[in-house]
Chains A and B, each alone.
Chain A
Amino acid sequence: MPIEIPKDKWPGSIKKVTLGGTSAEGGTRAKSVTVGGETTLPYLHFEAPTPNKPLIAIEIKSHKPDDWSPLLAEIWGDAMNDPARWAQKAEEAGADLIVLALTLADSPDDAVKVVKSVLGATGLPLIVWGPGQAEKDNDLLVPVAEATKGEKLMLGICEDKNYRTIVAAAMANGHVIQARTPMDVNLAKQLNILITDMGLPADRIMMDPTTGALGYGIEYGYSVMERLRLAALQGDAMTQLPMIVTPGFEAWKAKESKVGEGVPEAWGDWKARAIHWETLTAIALVESGADIIVLRHPESVKRVKDTIEELVTV
Chain B
Amino acid sequence: MALSGIQIYKLLPQTNCKECGFPTCLAFAMKLAAKQVELGSCPYVSDASKKQLAESAAPPIRLITLKAGTEVKAGNEVVMFRHEKTFYNKPGLFVRVKASDPELAAKAAKADAYKVNYVGMDFTVDGFAVEADGGDFVGAVKAVRNMTRRPLILIADDAALLDSALSLLAGESALIYAANSSNYEALADVAKKYKAALVLKADSFDAFADLTQKVQAKGVEDMVLDLGGKNLGEWLARSTQARRLAIKANQRALGYPTIFFAGQSGPEKEAVYAAQAIAKYAGFVVLDTFTPELAYALLVLRENIYTDPQKPIQVQPGIYEINSPNADSPVLVTTNFSITYFSVANEVEGSGLPAWLVVTDAEGMSVLTAWAAGKFDAERIAKAIKGFDVASKINKKRIVLPGHVAVLSGELEEELAGWEIRVGPREAVDLPAFMKQVLN
Contact = CB atoms under 8 A, between A and B. Distances in A.
- Whether A and B touch (Cβ < 8 Å) is answered with yes
A243 B45 CA distance: 50
Contacts of B387: none
Contact of A217 (B245, B272, B279, B338): B338
Given A183-B342, A266-B116, A3 B206 contact: yes
B315 interface: yes
A132 B350 contact: yes
Given A287-B280, A307-B272, A133 B350 contact: yes
A11 B97 CA distance: 48
Interface string A272-314: 1100110110011001100000000000000100110011111
Contact of A268 (B241, B291, B301, B346): B291
A262 interface: no
Contacts of A223: 81-83, 309
A283 B206 contact: no
A67 to B, nearest CB: 8
A287 to B, nearest CB: 5
A214 B346 CA distance: 21
A252 interface: no
Interface stretch (A24-32, A38-46, A92-100): A38-46
Contacts of A5: 205, 241, 244-245
A118 interface: no
In this complex, the member of A216, A265, A307 whose beta carbon has the largest number of chain B beta carbons within 10 angstroms is A307
A259 interface: no
Contacts of A214: 297, 300-301, 304
A27 to B, nearest CB: 31
Nearest to A5: B241
Chain B: interface secondary structure? helix
A282 to B, nearest CB: 9
Nearest to B241: A5
A6 B248 contact: yes
A310 B231 contact: yes
In this complex, the member of A230, A280, A313 whose beta carbon has the largest number of chain B beta carbons within 10 angstroms is A280
Given A1-B206, A3-B206, A313-B233, A182 B339 contact: yes
A222 interface: yes
Contacts of B293: 267-269, 272-273, 276
A43 B296 contact: no
Interface in B198-213: 204-206, 208-210, 213
B349 interface: yes
B352 A267 contact: no
A279 B271 contact: yes
A273 B294 CA distance: 7
Contact of B83 (A136, A226, A311): A226
Contacts of B117: 264, 266
B276 A268 contact: no
A306 B292 CA distance: 24
B368 interface: no
A275 B362 CA distance: 34
A276 B294 contact: yes
B236 A43 contact: yes
A249 interface: no
B292 A265 contact: yes
Interface in B276-291: 276, 279-280, 291
Contact of A219 (B213, B249, B305): B305
B106 interface: no
Interface of A: 1-6, 41, 43-46, 104, 132-134, 136, 159, 161-162, 182-184, 214-220, 222-223, 226-227, 230, 256, 264-269, 272-273, 276-277, 279-280, 283-284, 287-288, 303, 306-307, 310-314
Given A222-B82, A222-B279, A279-B272, 17 more contacts: A132-B350, A133-B350, A161-B346, A161-B350, A184-B339, A214-B304, A217-B304, A219-B309, A268-B293, A272-B293, A273-B296, A273-B297, A276-B297, A277-B297, A280-B271, A287-B236, A306-B272
